[in-house]
Amino acid sequence: MMKPFWKWLLAAWMGATIGATFLFVPPEARGFEHPRAYRILFYHVPMAWVATLAFFVAMGYAIQYLRTRQPAADDQSAAAAELGLLFCTLATVTGAIWSRLEWGQYWHWDPRQTSMAVLLLIYGAYMGLRGAMADEEQRARLAAVYAVLAAATVPFLVFVIPRVFESLHPDPVINTQGHLKMDVRMMITLLMALAGFTGVYLWLHRLRVRLAQWERRGRERWLE
Amino acid sequence: MVMDLYVVLVINLIIWVALFGYLWRMDTRMGELRRALEDSGEGAREDG
């Protein structure tokens, strides 16, 4: 159980991270139309990272559900997919704003933008699938199968397609040549942001699972 | 340009409004369930 101490630590960590994105990192970065706005990186990249992590967590628990048929595993899988969808939406929105600044338009059908939009559709459909079925056991089984299939597309959409097609999107942090091309202060701040937003995700995930357990308890209680 | 830093602030705002909005929605739902369970006699065994 996460004690309040960890919540305060997380809040302090995120406060320090936000402060670092304005005060610690170099004031400007080369190679951008708007050299100060590169700070969006410290928010946009963690959103995409957490979304990818959450989709794989959803797959892991979906496999666990299919093996054990424990409703708790379904709760975990559903919570991860829902949060993955939230963070994927935020990655898309922050990316669109950055795109407007750097490329002049919110949407370019850039391979990375398009693959994130496809992920939004895939996991939006997952939420629709869950909402459309009343029978809990059937919903959990079908959603688990869908979550596994959906996560199988994630490596292609996130890692392969953006590297195969021509893209305006900057190289990933570790680029195709395997080189790190980033100032040390930027790298420290990016790692802080990645760790902090991962912590926020884990906290929200835990709360979402608890809510799902309460909902189940309520349904069982009122069906008696 | 200072304008660029405003954009970063706006992005911060969007992210935190979304995350706290999600948290608030969960908290509201949990409160409803807690009250309903208390009314039905089970009571809440855990803190939110």
Q: What DSSP letter does each residue of A87-117 carry, written as one string?
A: HHHHHHHHHHHHHHHHHSSS----HHHHHHH
Sequence length of chain B is 48
- In Å, what is the CA distance from A168 to each residue of A17, A113, A199? 28, 10, 31
Assign B47 a pLDDT band (cuts: 50, 70, 90).
Answer: very low
Residue whose pair of structure tokens reads 């630590």 in the numeric block: A9
Q: Does the distance separating the beta carbons of B33 and A215 come in below 8 Å?
A: yes
> A28 touching B, CB under 8 A?
no
Residues of chain A with pLDDT under 50: 174
- In Å, what is the CA distance from A72 to each residue of A66, A88, A217, B3, B23? 12, 24, 12, 47, 21
φ, ψ for residue A38, nearest 5 deg:
-60, -15
Chain B residues within an 8 Å CB radius of A209 = none
**Which pLDDT score is estimated for A45?**
92
Chain CA centroid to CA A149, Å: 18
**Which pLDDT score is estimated for B18?**
95
- Helices and strands in chain A: count of H runs, count of E runs: 7, 0
Query: Which residues have C-beta within 8 Å of that of residue A38, sequence separation ≥ 6?
Result: A28, A29, A32
Chain A residues within an 8 Å CB radius of B30 = 210-211, 214
> A40 touching B, CB under 8 A?
yes
Q: Tell me the per-residue pLDDT of A155-168, one tens digit each, with 9 for 90 and over.
A: 888 777 777 776 66
A133 to chain B nearest CA, in Å? 20
**Which pLDDT score is estimated for A179?**
58
CB A56 within 8 A of CB A151: yes
Chain B residues within an 8 Å CB radius of A40 = 7-8, 11
Looking at the DSSP bridge assignments, the partners of residue A174 are: A180
**Which pLDDT score is estimated for A34?**
75
Closest residue of B to A23, CA-based? B5
Q: Where are the beta strands (DSSP E) in A45-172?
A: none
Indicate if the pLDDT at residue B17 is higher than 90: yes
Q: Does the distance separating the beta carbons of B8 and A37 come in below 8 Å?
A: yes
Q: Does the distance separating the beta carbons of B15 and A90 come in below 8 Å?
A: yes
ipTM of the prediction: 0.84
B17 to chain A nearest CA, in Å? 11
Chain CA centroid to CA A16, Å: 21
Q: Tell me the per-residue pLDDT of A178-189, one tens digit each, with 9 for 90 and over.
A: 556 778 888 899
CA nearest to A206, candidates A9, A48, A214, A132: A214
Q: Does the distance separating the beta carbons of A43 and B7 come in below 8 Å?
A: no
Q: Does the distance separating the beta carbons of A215 and B8 come in below 8 Å?
A: no
**Which pLDDT score is estimated for A50?**
96
Give the best residue of A23, A24, A36, A83 to mutate against chain B (max B CB count within 10 A).
A36
Looking at the DSSP bridge assignments, the partners of residue A180 are: A174
**Which pLDDT score is estimated for B48?**
43
Q: Does the distance separating the beta carbons of A222 and B15 come in below 8 Å?
A: no
